Amino acid sequence: MMTADAPSSRPSAAPDATWSSDQQWLSLSADGIQLQLDLADGLLKLAHFGRIAPINPAQHRLMSAAATPQASLDQLPPNTLFNDAGLGFAGYPALIGDREGRDWLTAMRLNDVSCSTDATGAHARLTLRDSLSELEVLLALTVTREGVLRQQTTLTNQSSAPYRLEWLAAACLPLPVRFEECLSFGGRWVQEFTETRHRLSEGTFTLENRRGRSSHQRVPTLITGTPGFSEQRGEVITAHLAWSGNHRALIERQFDGSTQLQMGALLLPGEQMLAAGDSVTTPEVVMAWSDTGINGASQRMHRTLRARLDWPVADKPRPVHVNTWEALYFDHDATRLQELVVAAGEVGAERFVLDDGWFVGRNGERAALGDWYLDAGKYPQGLGPLIESVQAHGMEFGLWVEPEMVNPDSELFRTHPDWILGLEGREQPLGRYQCVLDLTRREVCDYLFARLDALLSEYPIKYLKWDMNRDLTHAGGQSEEGRGKPVAHAQVSALYSLLARLRKAHPGVEIESCASGGARTDHGILRHTHRVWTSDCNDPHERTHIQRGASRVLPPELLGAHIGPQHAHTTSRRTTLAFRASTALFGHLGLELDVSQLDQAKRSELRGWIARYKALRGLLHNGVSWRLDCLDDNQHAHGVVSQDGQQALFSISQLAMPRHAVPAAQPLTGLQADTAYRLELLELPEHPERRMKQLPAWISRQQAGEPVVVSGEYLMREGLALPVLDPDQAILIHLQAVAA
């Protein structure tokens, strides 16, 4: 509801938007989370972001007005939702730009407020203006029905003179002084989502990405909170930029302790020029607050993203993939392909994805990218016979493409050398022997759409694995009107438009975002796709860390997680099928190995794991995800609990030698305290006497055929006694509520 009365303080799960013009107070709330803004004096001061709380505006203004120290401005500048320098703010401004050296200083003031509610959440639009610089800013705020704060910013040039924009924060959020730490996520190829913890002190902590995609190195996510925050403890805010290109994220603390978080798209010099009347809108920042550790914020992130996903078929179970890359690479031999199809169908795969190497001239990574025509030598009768065989063995067909790229050794490049991003007179380095096509040119997108549309129209292709295997370096246009100008930001927008155009033409096709693995995994690309390829690394030891990091902002059903071969191609580590499968189980399961080369015993074991996934995916892909704090740093524990708390699956992995000879008991979480659960150990590695003379009693009892029933309260308070595990082993525990 929307009212014009005094600010509401009543708890409410339904979206509520309240604007009191008399008290200059705005409140947005949903699902127990509330954002309250003090808009007096035309400023956007954050009064509260967290659980719904009764706040009297007059009392708040009296009690929150701070002292003014000596040797400072006579009145300290406020820390607001749009910090600029006009009041003397000396920190990083939310807006940086100029008109040929003028109008670089702004003092934005609130001009208009509107708010509303609908089924998606509580919304507010705050318009700010600066009459001297003739600029207008619109902040669009939403507290979603899942209790997540979404924000984006629009800047309008109201002057007759052009304005050169250098930086516009999509979100500028004041943080409490008690937030003294933050987690960032980076890494590299096959080691994505590596987390680093930072201590916040006076000054600016900044992460910038200039690679043209979300990148392995600078994931557009920050988690900040109280000292020592963990998965299950502490107050945190998780902030994620829904953008697949260059970005900047910063946390700045002033000398007086005031702290701000900013996120937005990073612009190259001269990339955004606003003519008279022009506007530009930032990507969206998604923010979740929790006082129960990172889990609480992640769960809200998962819910709000799930609510926005546009599936071709609603409620369709996530099918088991078999992808041909690590099985065949570029060797598209018809006999080998047929053997793989038959074996994949036998073990229960449901989607067969033909990877790189299917198009004309593509026998390696150095040539033919961009020539999206089927190789008649490899497929003399087209893809029809292969697809018919795939369907006959109970699977649907998917195809790998990399539309944004081109090899210099290709017919497309030889015909249109000016279609790539580049700068005249400057030689640019290749990445995987390829250049980047300029998607901002209409004729380039028309060509790509025509080729993909032709394939999707001719064949019953249900899935596209959309890859992107290099960073942008010389991101300049070569068209007549845009020659030499930077277009990295426009390139991302053009990609989104191309994906939207393709999905409109073929609404039944699912699309996966792959970028050398996990270099494009963000909420922005997931507005147009349905899954991300989390990493090119299928080694479960590394995948445990990678999937843990990705799960901070993405739910498991969107994370491609494949069972690879015993000998990992990317790390050379050897692991058991049980460890590989139990790790991949907590994602969107697939196979990235040559099933046809497995003996019957291994095929039978694999078939059993796939059957287990199918039985559990309703829980895994619709439940509430939990990551557990472990006393042993070499241990990793996580699980999923059904929405009604009646069922759960937990995994506990040992990644290196245990800290103690006897592992500490592991408390579980997310269960119903007053519910009794029957424990079933689904997976227990072999336990030779050298490691353990006796199993924990509850495991021995279950193995003897006796049921083990324990209260949720006990499992969350005291936990489970654990067996001693070797490195790279895991146990799986299934819990099912039983009648009292």
Mind telling me the catalytic residues?
Answer: 467, 536
Across 131-235, where does the E strand assignment appear? 135-144, 149-157, 163-168, 171-175, 181-188, 191-199, 203-209, 221-225
Q: Identify the CA nearest to 66 among candidates 49, 53, 79, 51.
A: 79
Please state, in angstroms and rounded to a whole number, the distance separating the CA atoms of residues 459 and 693. Answer: 58
Sorted by sequence, the CB contacts under 8 Å of residue 217 that are 6+ apart come out as 186, 187, 188, 209, 211
Pairing of strands 510-513, 461-466: parallel
- DSSP per-residue letters across 357-416: --BTT-SSTTS-TT--SB-TTT-TT-SHHHHHHHHHTT-EEEEEE-TTEE-SSSHHHHH-
Q: Where are the alpha helices (DSSP H) in 437-539?
A: 442-458, 488-505
Q: Is the dihedral of CA 457, 460, 465, 467 positive or negative?
A: negative
Residues in the chain: 740
What is the torsion angle, in degrees rounded to the nearest 10, for the CA atoms of residue 197, residue 199, residue 203 and residue 207? 0
Block residue for tokens 């019953």:
460
Is residue 36 a contact partner of residue 52, using CB atoms and an 8 Å limit? no
Give me the residues paired with residue 712 across strands. none
Q: 182 with 195: CB under 8 angstroms?
A: no
What's the maximum distance between 2 C-alpha atoms anywhere in the chain?
83
**Single-letter residue type at 496:** Y
Contact 190, 536 (CB under 8 A): yes
